[in-house]
Amino acid sequence: MIDPTTISVVRSGLEQICDEMDLHTIRSAISPIISETNDCAHGIYHPRTGETIAQGHLGLPVFLATMQFTVQAVIERAERQGGFAPGDMWVLNDTYLGGTHLNDVTLLTPVFVDGELFALLANTGHWMDVGGATAGGWNPSAEDIHQEGIVIPPGKLYDRGRLNEELLAMFLANVRLPDDIRGDLGALTSALQKGEQRLGELLARRGVETVRDCLEELIGRSERQMRTYIEEIPDGDYEFADRIDNDGVVDEPIEIRLRIEIRGSEMRIDFAGTSARVRGPINISANTARSACYVALKHVFPDVPVNGGTFRPVTIAIPDGSVIAAEYPSPVSGYLEAVGRILDVVFGALAQAIPERVPAAPFGTTGVVTVGGRHPDTGAYFVGVFPYPGGYGATHQTDGLVHGNTPQSMANFVALEASEHRYPLRFEYFAIREGSGGAGWHRGGDGTTYRVTATGPCTLSVLGDRADSAPFGLHEGGSALPNDVRLITGGTEWRPPMRTKLARQPLAEGDSIEVASPGGGGFGDPLERDLELVERDLNHGYIGPEEAERTYGVRARVESETASRKRWSVERSDRAASAAVPSADVGAQQPRQEAR
């Protein structure tokens, strides 16, 4: 029996190793998608099963889930080739084996102790470009995986410590930014080497057998803790559905439908009835779909440490041929839009059973804007990637987060100053989108709006969602405002035919794009919201006086005014007591439990 103190110290030591690998990569990478957006992740994995042992806190959630499947695929391939050897380092981005999309490249290296394989270290980093038809890889019009970039099957980048120069040369010859990719690959490689060094130091301090025993115990503890939480959910079946606006090629909605079955300490998630595979890049592999479920459950049960035992009590059924079971050659570059909708339907289903734990829908789109071309000053290729921030859904405990990173990836928005320095772009404004959060007893967080103007010729693509189907509220909470994308080219303002999806749009100097991301859904009856909170919303600029009266049933008056702002006070309004709140339209009946 291992004492609790030793288990805690070993767990913290393993997590610290992963955190150090995260920081090593972020601080040494060349591309802003890693160095500023933090689009990477690191983990330690079981040498036989490939299950997660520990992960870094800065890594993107969706990577931390898919990397286990990627590691397991490499283990299977390595065993067919005689197993791992010291100094090996594998590389792949095959989305059908691991998950996500082609830009996310995974490296894996074995750690040996006294000649015995002890663990596997892996990381994933987003490459700014992987070739394909669209600079940056986010191709809203792709109908084939090869239009999205180069596919890398599992192979050895290093064989017993020797770099495969020919393989590296092949990578660099197929991307638009070879110098950046070479630098990022060096950062990711050295991070794994640093992790191997730190793991060796931990083993020297604590002993190999002690740490190995702790690994097994940590996995078992996470499984037991998750089973305890599932047992607290009332047995039953809980159904929910939501829609993706379109696939970028065919303008028809795509339905994500699921049923969660709770029986004792077991949870079954069944996606029967989900739409079939689509032509455009909104498909995701089955492993990505499973990972999305794990991310959603981690949001609901945040205190369960994530490792191989966490999701053992959860069974996931994914229909063959569906949009969430992509197979070659289905395009997948817009995978985060489907991942976001899976989070939403898991929240919507569980809200019927445990309303005090589950948030309303977050803004639900990563909405990536990419710009690319040749820099007018140097002639060199450039690629800029800008994932949306937006509002989070309100909960039983609190209002939703304002201007948060996308919950399915947590990628940051690249600093405006750095973007203007690197690319022929100028940001005209970057602000909170006032009034975009859903109304409620607890209010959904507001999204973000910005306008960026080209200062030189470039090509723009957008891959987002949530324009036709807004993020939903729960328990009488209101929906958020939907996504809105507008372009101004040649002095004319227009919206893309697919609303939030647009491929390879040329921009001339002076042309602009305006983006307004969704907020999060509200929670509970807005007429029950505390007066002090409504007053705060007014004074922060989250809502206006008309919405305060129409939706929250209060009358606002100006208490003081300066050149830059008004100070409001509020009181209950008789006229607005019967105000109606817009309900969500997500293709399924909304939960109606009491808010409190």
Query: Given this model, what pLDDT does residue 408 score?
Result: 82
| CB of 343 closer than 8 Å to CB of 240 | no
> pTM surpassing 0.85?
yes
Residue-by-residue DSSP string for 492-514: EEE--TTSSEEEEEEE-TT-EEE
Interatomic CA distance for residues 393 and 520, integer angstroms: 4
Interatomic CA distance for residues 154 and 68, integer angstroms: 14
Query: Given this model, what pLDDT does residue 398 score?
Result: 96
Give the residue-averaged pLDDT of 317-333.
97
CA 522 to chain centre: 21
What Rg, from alpha-carbon coordinates, does the chain have?
24
Give the residue-averaged pLDDT of 318-346.
97
pLDDT in tens, 358-390: 999 999 999 999 999 998 888 899 999 999 899
Query: Given this model, what pLDDT does residue 206 score?
Result: 95
Considering only 118-122, 384-388, 547-551, 560-564, which range has the smallest mean pLDDT?
Answer: 560-564
pLDDT in tens, 515-540: 999 999 999 999 999 999 999 999 99
Q: How confident is the model at residue 459 (pLDDT cuts 50, 70, 90)?
A: very high
In the 8-state DSSP scheme, what is residue 479? P
Higher-pLDDT residue of 565, 440: 440
Interatomic CA distance for residues 368 and 379, integer angstroms: 25
Interatomic CA distance for residues 31 and 381, integer angstroms: 13
- The sign of the dihedral angle between the CA atoms of 370, 40, 146, 517 is negative
Interatomic CA distance for residues 440 and 449, integer angstroms: 22
Query: Given this model, what pLDDT does residue 99 score?
Result: 87
Q: How far is CA 157 from CA 13, 37, 109, 168, 278, in A?
A: 28, 25, 10, 7, 34
| CB of 409 closer than 8 Å to CB of 387 | yes
Query: Given this model, what pLDDT does residue 591 score?
Result: 38
Indicate if the pLDDT at residue 551 is higher than 80: yes
**At 52, is the secondary structure helix, strand, or coil?**
strand
pLDDT in tens, 89-130: 999 999 999 889 999 999 999 999 999 999 999 999 999 999
Indicate if the pLDDT at residue 357 is higher than 70: yes
Q: How far apart are the first and last CA of the chain?
A: 43
Token output for 86: 């010291």
Cis peptide leading into residue 526 (ω within 30°)? no
| CB of 403 closer than 8 Å to CB of 448 | yes
Residue-by-residue DSSP string for 261-297: EEETTEEEEE-TTPPBP-SSTT---HHHHHHHHHHHH
Q: What is the mean pLDDT of the chain?
A: 93
User: Around 49, how many Cα atoms within 13 Å sit in the side-chain half-sphere?
Assistant: 11
Neighbours of 61 (CB within 10 A): 24
| CB of 411 closer than 8 Å to CB of 138 | no
**Amino acid present at 521:** G
Higher-pLDDT residue of 196, 409: 196
In the 8-state DSSP scheme, what is residue 523? B
Indicate if the pLDDT at residue 592 is higher than 60: no
Query: Given this model, what pLDDT does residue 394 score?
Result: 98
Query: Given this model, what pLDDT does residue 410 score?
Result: 77
Indicate if the pLDDT at residue 587 is higher than 60: no
Query: Given this model, what pLDDT does residue 306 score?
Result: 87
Q: How confident is the model at residue 197 (pLDDT cuts 50, 70, 90)?
A: very high
Indicate if the pLDDT at residue 585 is higher than 80: no
Interatomic CA distance for residues 22 and 401, integer angstroms: 25
pLDDT in tens, 391-441: 999 999 999 999 999 888 778 898 999 999 999 999 999 999 999 999 999
* CA dihedral of residues 281, 282, 284, 289 (deg, nearest 10): 170
pLDDT in tens, 49-87: 999 999 999 988 888 789 999 999 999 999 999 999 999
Closest listed residue to residue 102, CA positions, set 76, 71, 133? 133
Higher-pLDDT residue of 564, 566: 566
Q: In what order do the strands lie in the sheet with 236-244?
A: 236-244, 254-263, 266-270, 314-317
| CB of 557 closer than 8 Å to CB of 568 | yes
The β-bridge relationship of strands 266-270 and 314-317 is parallel
**At 158, is the secondary structure helix, strand, or coil?**
strand
pLDDT in tens, 262-305: 999 999 999 999 999 999 999 999 999 999 999 999 999 999 99
The β-bridge relationship of strands 447-454 and 512-516 is antiparallel
Indicate if the pLDDT at residue 586 is higher than 60: no
Phi-psi category of 207—alpha, beta or left, where left has phi over 0 and alpha has psi -120 to 50?
left
| CB of 259 closer than 8 Å to CB of 237 | yes
Indicate if the pLDDT at residue 594 is higher than 90: no
